Amino acid sequence: MRLLGFAQEKISWVNRYNLDLPVTPIAVTRPQTAQDVSGFVKCAAANSVKVQPRSGGHSYANYGLGGEDGALVIDLLKMQDFSMDTKTWQATIGGGTRLSDVTKKLHDNGKRAISHGTCPGVGIGGHATIVNHVVEVEVVTADGSIKRASEAENSDLFFALKGAGAGFGIITEFVMKTHPEPGNVIQYSFSLSFGKHADMVPVFKQWQDLISDPKLDRRFGTEFVAHELGAIITATFYGTEDEWNASGIPERIPKGKLSVVIDDWLAVLAQQAEDAALYLSEIHTAFTVRSLAFTAEETLSEDTITKVMKYLDDTNHGTLLWFLIFDATGGAISDIPMNATAYSHRDKIMFCQGYGIGIPVLTQKTKDFLGGLVDTIQDSATQQLTTYPGYVDPSLVDPQQSYWGPNLQRLESIKTTYDPNDIFHNPQSVRPGTQKKL
């Protein structure tokens, strides 16, 4: 029985998150130190085996299992050390920590916070490499070296890790600046029901007009989620209720059935996690996902919104479980130059993610439904829309260009310097350039 239990535990290490994409790694390891990670990387390189890290979380395309058969997976689940420097208020966080644990540890160590997403099961490795709070990392590179990287040390590698991390090394430790938890937070969630999706056109346009306002209060965050029976609009405001009312946003945001009003930071995090679970839970299942990003000039015209909603009404979805999630972005993210880090979407004000979930299996109709939805939006755009690697889209024709755009050439050069044999590889990661960086 002990042997059976041990075998079952090891099998669970290889569980795929997206059951529609079969991936079988050559092995899954769970190191406890950076030295362990270094040894595994050296072994893989010596045997021409590709390597991908998994930072305790999941991946839409199973890149946490290498993305392709035969990769070595280095799962950092056991690397969850945490410490807080109460003089600088910088937190040192192990590379295998999940977001839910990060928020709890920050709260328990001085009631601190960082900006982050809403899904509690996301591992810090793929998540924190996007955010601006990272000031230094410990990273294992393709030759097995254990390095420190920051703006002052190995700055070219640090540039690449902040937005394209999985192709450049395995981050075993993050050092992050933190802020005091918000003193007041107001969150609303509006549920709207419609006879048909075409009725959503003026509602979505009103929401999009709001988030497109360059003078929009930066303390405000929001999502618009279309689903089979209607839509949900979330509104989070980091301030008091009086400040929320004074912002003018309450008069401009579409109204519906009010389901949530919260003014406690941890309760807001819990509610956001619950909302995220409505769209794509921690349950391993078969699903298809597509994503797009929009600048202010690329937002949907009223004509395009009408086409999208008509498409939702007229097309066989192949499933009742589908979601079209629009996230507002921008604000302080846009203050940082595009070439400051690998993340190349600082000019975007909105992201869109479409999900289709198999019940009980994913059908081609659902895949075609989401593909046609993306085509409907793209056909109305004046240029090719992009997205970022945190919203993995396995169907992208040129993922590297879509993910890293103007920063791609520099990333290819850095890749050539630190990983010329492409040891850290998945189907959409940055490839080495043709010329070695001098």
Higher per-residue pLDDT: 352 or 278: 352
In angstroms, the Cα distances linking 279 to 225, 264, 324 are 9, 23, 9
Q: Which helix (H) or strand (E) holds 73?
A: strand 72-75
Contact call for residues 285 and 349 (beta carbons, < 8 A): no
Least confident range from 56-70, 259-273, 304-318, 364-378: namely 259-273
pLDDT value at residue 109: 97
- The whole-angstrom separation of Cα 87 and Cα 160 is 29
- The whole-angstrom separation of Cα 134 and Cα 155 is 13
pLDDT value at residue 279: 52
- Residue 119 predicted with pLDDT over 80: no
- Residue 42 predicted with pLDDT over 50: yes
Helices (H), 212-264: 241-246, 249-252
pLDDT value at residue 392: 87
Q: Please give the full DSSP string across 169-188, using - where no structure is assigned.
A: -EEEEEEEE-EEPPS--EEE
Does this model's pTM top 0.85? My answer is: yes
Note the pLDDT tens digit of each residue in 409-424: 999 999 999 999 999 9
Tokens (6 digits) for 287: 């699903």
pLDDT value at residue 184: 86
Neighbour count for residue 383 (Cβ, 10 Å)? 9
Which candidate, 72, 68, 62, places its Cα nearest to that of 286?
Answer: 62
Band (pLDDT 50/70/90 cuts) for residue 436 is very low
Note the pLDDT tens digit of each residue in 307-325: 999 999 999 999 999 999 9
Q: Which helix (H) or strand (E) holds 9?
A: helix 2-12
Tokens 């920050």 correspond to 106
- Residue 30 predicted with pLDDT over 60: yes
Neighbour count for residue 401 (Cβ, 10 Å)? 14
How does DSSP classify residue 317?
A: -
pLDDT value at residue 437: 40
CA-CA-CA-CA torsion sign (106, 112, 114, 119): positive
In angstroms, the Cα distances linking 372 to 8, 73, 256, 317, 325 are 40, 34, 29, 10, 16
Domains and CATH numbers, the chain: 82-180 (3.30.465.10), 186-263+285-395 (3.40.462.20)
pLDDT value at residue 275: 63
- Residue 5 predicted with pLDDT over 70: no
309-342 exposure pattern, b = at least 16 Cβ within 10 A, e = fewer = bebbeeeebbbebbbbbbbbbbeebbeeeeeebb
Band (pLDDT 50/70/90 cuts) for residue 8 is very low
Tokens (6 digits) for 174: 């993050």
Band (pLDDT 50/70/90 cuts) for residue 208 is very high
For residues 259-280, give the mean pLDDT.
63
In angstroms, the Cα distances linking 3 to 6, 8, 9, 253 are 5, 9, 10, 58
DSSP reduced 3-state for 25: coil
- Sorted by sequence, the CB contacts under 8 Å of residue 382 that are 6+ apart come out as 298
Band (pLDDT 50/70/90 cuts) for residue 2 is very low
Residue type, 295: T
Q: Which residues is 350 bridged to in the sheet?
A: 294, 328
Cα torsion through 220, 251, 202, 323, rounded to 10: 40
In angstroms, the Cα distances linking 394 to 217, 291, 342, 385 are 35, 10, 20, 15
